Chain A
Amino acid sequence: MTVSVDSLSDLVVERVGFGIFVLDREMNVLMWNRFMQDHSGLPAEQMVGKSLFTHFPELPRVWLARKIESVFQLGSFAFSSWEQRPYLFKFDHDRPITGGVDFMQQDCTFMPLMRDREVVAVCVTISDVTHVSIVQREREEAVAKLQEYADRDGLTGIANRRFFEARLRDEYTRWQRYGGDMSVLLFDLDHFKKINDQFGHGVGDTVLRVMAQRVAGVVRAQDTFGRFGGEEFALLLPCTPLDDAMRVAEKIRCTIADTPVEVQGTSVPVTASVGVAAARVGAPAYDVLINEADAALYSAKRQGRNRSVAFV
């Protein structure tokens, strides 16, 4: 038995795994394949000969008309990607709901059908790219999560030193350009080694965690609070002059010292020493600010701890 080549093409179009339909210049449907029927529930007999909008009034009419017209005018292709326009038709997809995708994600191609160098109709193909979009979304979420982990201190959950210094550098650059005020606090839990020695490292870790959370609760949203290493913490205060920074320092010192930490039935008293420095004209780089806050912190320790000292 011989099969004509023409009829083979028809069978392929019928069974192929993506949507194929053909429109004339007035947006009337000339052809509608099985994929389109299966996903829309509308057979070719209902679609062919009618305007596409008869059964799909929700389609973006102006946008679609312009795509089709550009193919007729230029005799060239037009495209639509799921990345800019997730779907054209509201078709269900067969992926798990957990993918977080509402409808089948679609890449569309608009092809000119030519006879004697004239465009006689436009063929539209719809590819199901739901799996691609889900993989990409998952990857973006994973990257965002990794980014989050990369910026956080594992023990306390506040910013780590790398993130803190990056923010400080940005803020310092802004300050150099636009002026105004900015300050930095460095503080250190007093005699922390004794806490570790006396109660063990587990308790020491709990003290660090509780203190970090307590302080995080009193800083402003625009400030950056980070763990600098060991029992040392840093707070970046944008748009804050030295006097105000000293008030913040005292608030933090009291937040730490006023209430002992309760760990495993034991009350552990903790105090902190705070060094404060404000950006001053003439300082060449942000690390000068850190060095000055560190010098003030050293001075607070020497003066007997549990106090705030400003660098002058």
Chain B
Amino acid sequence: MSERALTEDQRDALQEVANLAMGQAATRLARLLDAFIELSVPRVRVVGVSEAAQTLREMTGIQDTVSAVRQGFRSDIKGEALVICRSDSIEQLCSLVSDPYSRSAYEAVSQQELVFDVANVLTGACVSSILDQLGRTPVFSAPGLLGEAMTLEEVFQPGVLQWEVALLVEVNFALEDQSFRAHLVMLMAEESIRHMNGALDALLSSL
């Protein structure tokens, strides 16, 4: 499975869907987090899972270890979303959702809970927005930690993830004066890609 999984028209449509979705996600996130959040124009690639690590490395230049949070989403287009960021950027990532109890010893929020919260918020905003553009309303499952210091190869190693196709949506999140990168990857089985192709065709024909 490679980029040929999509026709050129479908690919353009998907890029357009991602652009619109990320605009929508940025607006929603900014309102939620009460901070100006900038999302870069997403770079979209569809590759087989076996090529995902190499492709994501080429797209991002990541050589170090990463932390990855996984979260399932379900509609007729279903799969798993990964939020990946460099292990040393975890604290910056968490600063997106400040600890509401940072000045209270009574109500502590663990770093782990913050990581899940922020990954859930990013996944929720981005995946919901993409699927919303395709006319789907997904159901999500709870986020889980894939690993805290893994290489990209370990993230995508066969056997860890059951999906065949990776829709790589590479987005930079920038928060006011500090900028760091987090990457969203949507993994799907081939059947879901077929449903997505159908949805993209429907979108194209409605134009």
Contacts and interface: CB of A to CB of B under 8 A. Distances in A.
A74 B139 CA distance: 13
B116 A77 contact: no
B142 A81 contact: yes
A interface, how many residues as a size bin? 20 to 34
B120 A77 contact: yes
Interface stretch (A58-66, A181-189, A227-235, A278-286): A58-66
B101 A62 contact: yes
A108 to B, nearest CB: 9
A73 B32 contact: yes
Interface in B139-172: 139-140, 142-143
Contacts of B117: 78
B32 A69 contact: yes
Nearest to B32: A73
A75 B123 CA distance: 12
B203 interface: no
Given A74-B32, A79-B120, A117-B132, A62 B100 contact: yes
A117 B31 CA distance: 18
A60 B107 contact: yes
A76 B140 contact: yes
A109 B120 CA distance: 12
Contacts of A7: none
Nearest to A111: B139
A114 interface: yes
A79 B116 contact: yes
B101 A63 contact: yes
Contacts of B181: none
Interface in B11-47: 28-29, 31-32
Contacts of B120: 76-79
A289 B119 CA distance: 49
A117 B28 CA distance: 14
B112 A84 contact: yes
Most buried by A among B32, B101, B132: B32
Given A79-B116, A109-B142, A73 B28 contact: yes
Interface string A112-128: 00100100000000000
B142 A107 contact: yes
A85 interface: yes
Contact of B113 (A62, A76, A85, A117): A85
B50 interface: no
B142 A79 contact: yes
Interface in B107-130: 107, 109-110, 112-113, 116-117, 120-121, 123-125, 127-128
Interface of A: 60, 62-63, 66, 69-70, 73-81, 83-85, 107, 109, 111, 114, 117
Interface of B: 28-29, 31-32, 100-101, 107, 109-110, 112-113, 116-117, 120-121, 123-125, 127-128, 132, 137, 139-140, 142-143
20 contacts: A62-B101, A62-B107, A63-B100, A63-B109, A66-B100, A73-B31, A74-B28, A74-B32, A74-B128, A75-B128, A76-B125, A76-B127, A78-B120, A78-B124, A80-B113, A81-B142, A83-B112, A84-B110, A84-B116, A111-B139
